[in-house]
A and B are shown apart, each in its own frame.
Chain A
């Protein structure tokens, strides 16, 4: 079964081709990142699968069935901006959402608690700050504890503490086995949880699949000595040396095959260079992503 399956989705706004022939599948239990620069078509894509936008071409299915409102009720969605009735309180707004989703009203206090809005639940939405509005939207998406979440830039408008909280929340939800479809900016933050990605650029799907296949991320070794110019010359003679990633501060060196750090340390010492820094690192998802989209 796949949670969401897209077949050849295209969408045009006048002269702008927002999406062209996008197809991919979101497997159950995955944390699926939809990544791409601003204007790459992420929100358009999520708008289509939530039926607020109509695709010009192509089809999609939810839970292997033709899309329908009753299937959307099983998905908690936060799309772009929080949309609520300004004249209703947070609690009243969630009553409307719960009624449409056909979820019990008793769940409202739970999601308000998660979003940290319990104290302000009886204030009107229009009196909320941007961050509180975003929190309410997250609370609404969590109503009824859905097994699938679609989160489009969920940290928008939040302060640093709020961003950290949402980051933790996403991690926690992912651990409970929920399927999470997540649109970008959070790329850096969800690096640890993203199991799958689809990468969009100018409306086209560049790649999609398990994150480690799509974004081949090189391990590199970060090291320093008293004189990095000498160190670089020494490393260049190492049989597994491939290339230098960066010379800012520490040297970041990629080897063509895995190297043992102890052996590397010994090698340098033998060559007369005593290291004062040695660390193995994985290239960040963001860097790999930028390399991919720049090509």
Chain B
């Protein structure tokens, strides 16, 4: 596996587009939360005596940042979409196999990025949660409720798995990006609202929505949540099922199809 990672590194290390897309996905985490923390500190200063714990105080900050970041999970899909569709555009997926990779190794190489980008999102989020929590919060550092960061991580992995599957099925960069954007920004939201309205809470079990259900904004989210929602464990299970299903489909596709 180390050999595969080294080869993937050789492919991207001087690929500017990839690094720009990655920087965008990473930079938006501190940027959005910096703005959030500023607004929050103004509100807190004005209503000091009413709210004992603000959203950028430990331990609430874990949930706050996980929730804010969950609106931007799709951004991590773009560097992955570009990396995978590039291989098809340049037919280098064929060359990798011709040169001696097993097809399985080609899939593992892309699964490395799937995991690495998710871990990066998690680490950056946790790092800035600590920084912003210490800078803006009035409470001591605490890991209590940091499980929300894990939920966020799983949601990023689901987004990335959707990107990976679309890229492997569609192969063309432009079309893959349009489909990914359409799904993450629109299609799923429409489905969720429609199913919730006409069928019920099961609409909350769709891939990205299952993550959103686990990541309500602190305080406000509780007021808005439905009384019938499933137990957290159900949403968590669904996230894992979606990830497993999509990775299975990626393998099935890439092991059997003509390159």
Contact = CB atoms under 8 A, between A and B. Distances in A.
Interface of A: 47, 50-54, 68-70, 72-73, 77, 79, 81, 83-88, 92, 95-97, 99-102, 140
Interface residues of B, number: 28
A241 to B, nearest CB: 53
B7 A96 contact: yes
Contact of B100 (A52, A72, A79, A85): A72
B3 A99 contact: yes
B98 A92 contact: no
Contact of A51 (B10, B15, B103): B103
Nearest to B258: A53
Contacts of B232: none
Nearest to B92: A83
Contact of A100 (B7, B14, B91): B7
Contacts of A50: 97-98
Contacts of B90: 83-86
Contacts of B99: 72-73, 77, 97, 100-101, 140
A100 B11 CA distance: 12
B145 interface: no
Given A69-B102, A87-B15, A79 B94 contact: yes
9 contacts: A51-B103, A72-B97, A73-B100, A81-B91, A85-B92, A87-B14, A88-B15, A97-B95, A99-B6
A67 B95 CA distance: 16
Interface of B: 3, 6-7, 10-11, 14-17, 86, 90-92, 94-103, 105, 256-259
Given A53-B258, A85-B86, A68 B98 contact: no
Contacts of A140: 99
For B6, B14, B91, B99, which residue has the most chain A Cβ atoms within 10 angstroms? B99
Contact of B97 (A52, A70, A96): A52
A153 B56 CA distance: 65
Contacts of A81: 91
Contacts of A92: 10, 14
A83 B100 contact: no
Contacts of B14: 87-88, 92
Given A52-B258, A53-B259, A72 B92 contact: no
Contacts of B259: 52-53
Nearest to A96: B10
B98 A72 contact: yes
A191 B14 CA distance: 44
A69 B100 CA distance: 4
A70 B100 contact: yes
A97 B94 CA distance: 12
For A70, A83, A100, which residue has the most chain B Cβ atoms within 10 angstroms? A100
Given A84-B90, A85-B86, A100-B7, A79 B98 contact: yes
A84 B7 contact: no
A108 B256 CA distance: 33
A83 B102 contact: no
A95 B7 CA distance: 9
Contacts of A68: 102
Contacts of B92: 83-85
A50 B98 CA distance: 5
A72 B94 CA distance: 13
Contact of B101 (A69, A87, A95): A69
A61 to B, nearest CB: 16
Contacts of B257: 54
Contacts of B3: 99, 102
Contacts of B16: 87
List the 9 closest pairs (A to B, CB-CB), nearest first.
A73-B100, A83-B95, A52-B259, A83-B91, A100-B99, A69-B102, A52-B94, A50-B98, A72-B100
A180 B107 CA distance: 30
Given A77-B98, A102-B3, 15 more contacts: A51-B103, A52-B97, A52-B258, A54-B257, A69-B101, A72-B100, A83-B92, A84-B92, A84-B95, A85-B11, A88-B11, A92-B10, A97-B99, A101-B99, A140-B99
Nearest to B18: A87
A99 B10 CA distance: 9
